[in-house]
Amino acid sequence: QKEVEQDPGPLSVPEGAIVSLNCTYSNSAFQYFMWYRQYSRKGPELLMYTYSSGNKEDGRFTAQVDKSSKYISLFIRDSQPSDSATYLCAFLTGRRALTFGSGTRLQVQP
């Protein structure tokens, strides 16, 4: 079983839609949960970072963590064409080596 499972997509939505991106994980030692956005041929950009179960909101982005189900989500409200990118979930134990999902490619159609 892979340590992190993430649907590769592509996920295509119309502009203004609510987007839901998800990852499941199997490592109970994961304590910190992150979402990165990566545009084509660019470096990953940190979007959200949390270490507890529950919701964290930042503008149009909401990160949700359910440790009991080993499931994390990223919601994007009012999606824009500029949100078209690959979204990577990432996890940390007490060490500092990030474990990444394989990424979900999102396309927001104008």
Partner 1 sequence: NAGVMQNPRHLVRRRGQEARLRCSPMKGHSHVYWYRQLPEEGLKFMVYLQKENIIDESGMPKERFSAEFPKEGPSILRIQQVVRGDSAAYFCASSPPADSYEQYFGPGTRLTVT
Residue 82 DSSP class: G
Using the structure block, give the residue that is written with the tokens 């064409």: 81
**Residue 61 binding partner 1, by CB under 8 A:** no
Candidates 12-20, 54-62, 68-76, 95-103: pick the segment binding partner 1 (CB under 8 A): 95-103
Report the alpha-carbon distance of residue 75 to residue 85 in Å, rounded. Answer: 14
Which of 87, 85, 68, 83 lies closest to 6 in space, CA to CA? 87
Residue of 14, 28, 40, 41 interacting with partner 1 (CB under 8 A): 41
**Residue 29 binding partner 1, by CB under 8 A:** no
**Residue 58 binding partner 1, by CB under 8 A:** no
Residue 76 DSSP class: E
Q: How many Cβ atoms are within 10 Å of 51's Cβ, its own excluded? A: 12
Residue of 79, 101, 106, 108 interacting with partner 1 (CB under 8 A): 101
Alpha helices in the chain (DSSP H): none
Candidates 10-18, 22-30, 43-51, 52-60: pick the segment binding partner 1 (CB under 8 A): 43-51
Chain residues in the site for partner 1 (CB under 8 A) = 32, 34, 36, 41-46, 49, 51, 88, 92, 95-103
